[in-house]
Amino acid sequence: MKNTKKNISIEKLHPFENHPYKVQDNEEMDALAKSIKAHGVVSPIIVRPLENTTDEYEIISGHRRVMASRKAGITEVPALVVSLDRDAAAIVLVDSNLHREHILPSEKAFAYKMKAEALAHQGWRTDLTSGQLVPKSDDNRTTAQIGADTGDSYKTVQRYIRLTNLIPEILQYVDDGRISFTPAVELSYLNEQEQYDLLEQMELNDCTPSLSQACRFKKMCQEDGLTPEVIATIMSEEKANQREMFKVPMERIRQYVPNANAKQAEDFVLKACEHYRKFLIRQRNRDER
């Protein structure tokens, strides 16, 4: 079957199963819908025929355009129909989105995992254990191939994939920038119940574990297991870098910088404060004239 271009009814399109990238209904989506309503879908989406169907398709690239088209009331979209099996399609899906400016840690983690599983099905050696030692000359491994394609080391790829072991609530802390990447990797070794016990303490005390605490949690869970009492005791310790904090909910900032991560939002707020400070100085100087 050759690749073909055709208009396809939106009702015949299905999201890629376990799609790792979040399609958010936000201001950017509203702007895209407005553009599509005015100009149509300029760049065709990429789909593949679903197995055991006569006229149904799975989206490989273009989930946001399809959602925006629905919002705009568009019933058909231009599509490039490609003949790919699921593993090859998964690799194309991951690679076509990794160039985006803002990618959440959870998106990158599940994208790397999806690509690693697809490569393994194609015959590449699986090596998803964080920190696994492999010879430098041995490039026939999934994480090495992913790293070559993205610029990350195979160990970094492995550590991102470890994040997929976090419960959704703690992974959201990582996406929000409240838990840094390295402590999050350490916490991924806790079992599900231990993670929920930790989450309870995090919410109760409005705090997150430091890297040192995360490493202790990992060591304890691998040796003797973690009890809620031990987690509570460790989390009650005062951190060496504790200092007074001024907190603003991310929801209030996202209306000005949609899709920004915590670090980008912080930089935006600081620049806005500096801009306003200069404005006040100029205003004061004019008043003194």
**DSSP string of 59-80, one letter each residue:** EEE-HHHHHHHHHHT--EEEEE
Can you give the pLDDT at residue 124?
59
For 196, the token pair is 């929920």
pTM for the whole structure: 0.70
pLDDT digits (tens, 9 = 90+) for 73-83: 999 999 999 98
What is the greatest pairwise CA distance in the chain? 80
For 138, the token pair is 């041995």
- Over 80: is that where the pLDDT of 104 sits? yes
For 16, the token pair is 């890629």
Can you give the pLDDT at residue 279?
81
Can you give the pLDDT at residue 253?
80
pLDDT digits (tens, 9 = 90+) for 208-220: 999 999 999 999 9
List CB contacts of 50: < 8 A, sequence separation 6 or more. Answer: 14, 56, 57, 58
Can you give the pLDDT at residue 138?
46
List CB contacts of 53: < 8 A, sequence separation 6 or more. Answer: none
- Over 70: is that where the pLDDT of 134 sits? no
Can you give the pLDDT at residue 243?
46
- Over 50: is that where the pLDDT of 130 sits? no
- Over 70: is that where the pLDDT of 105 sits? yes
Can you give the pLDDT at residue 192?
96
- Whose CA is closest to 171, among 96, 254, 107, 239? 107
- Type and span of the H or E element at 251: helix 250-254
Q: Are 69 and 79 within 8 A, CB to CB?
A: no
**CA distances in angstroms from 25 to 33, 165, 194, 206, listed in the order given:** 10, 26, 33, 28
Token look-up 């050696």 returns 125
Following DSSP, what letter does each residue of 192-234 receive, concatenated? HHHHHHHHHHHHHHT----HHHHHHHHHHHHHT---HHHHHHH
The phi, psi pair for 45, rounded to 5°, reads: -75, 170
pLDDT digits (tens, 9 = 90+) for 257-272: 877 777 787 888 888 8
Can you give the pLDDT at residue 101?
66
Q: Which residue has the higher pLDDT, 278 or 155?
A: 155
Can you give the pLDDT at residue 245?
58
Token look-up 């949609």 returns 258
Q: Which residue has the higher pLDDT, 77 or 281?
A: 77
- Over 60: is that where the pLDDT of 31 sits? yes
| Share above pLDDT 90 across residues of the chain, in percent, rounded to a whole number | 49
- Over 80: is that where the pLDDT of 228 sits? yes
C-alpha span between 16 and 63 (Å, rounded): 9
- Over 90: is that where the pLDDT of 250 sits? no
Highest mean pLDDT among 91-95, 123-127, 197-201: 197-201
Instruction: With cut-offs at 50, 70 and 90, classify the pLDDT of residue 289.
Output: low
Of 31-35, 51-55, 89-93, 108-112, the least confident? 51-55
Can you give the pLDDT at residue 238?
65
Can you give the pLDDT at residue 112?
93
- Whose CA is closest to 93, among 84, 106, 101, 102? 84
Can you give the pLDDT at residue 133?
42
Highest mean pLDDT among 18-27, 181-190, 260-269: 181-190
List CB contacts of 62: < 8 A, sequence separation 6 or more. Answer: 43, 44, 45, 46, 47, 77, 79
Convert 132-148 to b/e letters by CB count within 10 Å (16 or more is b): eeeeeeeeebbbbbbbe
